[in-house]
Amino acid sequence: MLSRKMHTAMLMEFGKRPAAGEVAANSSANDRENCCTSRLFVIDRKSGLHFLVDSGADVSIVPASKMKSTLTHNCDSKLYAANNTEIPTYGVRTLSVDLGLRRNFLWPFIVARTNKGILGADFLKKFNLIIDLKQRRLIDGETKLSIK
């Protein structure tokens, strides 16, 4: 009688095993390289603020450390990081952002304890901005201009 069991394959590597620290360092460097090459950052020409362009973020954020003046109103929203920890928020600040696309973008940003700003899906949708990760650029759907 024939058996219909599946057998698993055994893979073996030959040669000298790398030291544990070497594997961790290489893995970390590779992760950092892959991570940073697939993310898109843009700079506000007025303030010099760096923004991560993130269509996976529902809202747009500006770092509290970069805000010196008063907030327009309090923020009741709760923000969470990818690891599910709460990100403290301090209110909302309306900013005019110049990305070099020949128009200014006036938008209410949530002020939060983050290192960098985020241009979220709310901002991208409102201003018809299109992310092109292959060419590493942000395209203005209205003017057809782009920035890298």
In this structure, what token pair is assigned to residue 47?
């303030």
Measure the CA–CA gap between 62 and 97, rounded to whole angstroms: 11
CB 60 within 8 Å of CB 118: yes
How do beta strands 117-119 and 50-53 pair? parallel
Q: 65: Cβ–Cβ under 8 A, 6 or more apart, which residues? A: 113
Domain range list for the chain: 41-147
Condensed to tens digits (0 to 9), the pLDDT of residues 62-119 reads 999 888 765 666 677 788 888 999 999 988 999 999 999 999 999 999 999 999 999 9
Q: Which CATH superfamily is domain 41-147 in?
A: Acid Proteases (2.40.70.10)
The pTM assigned to this predicted structure is 0.72
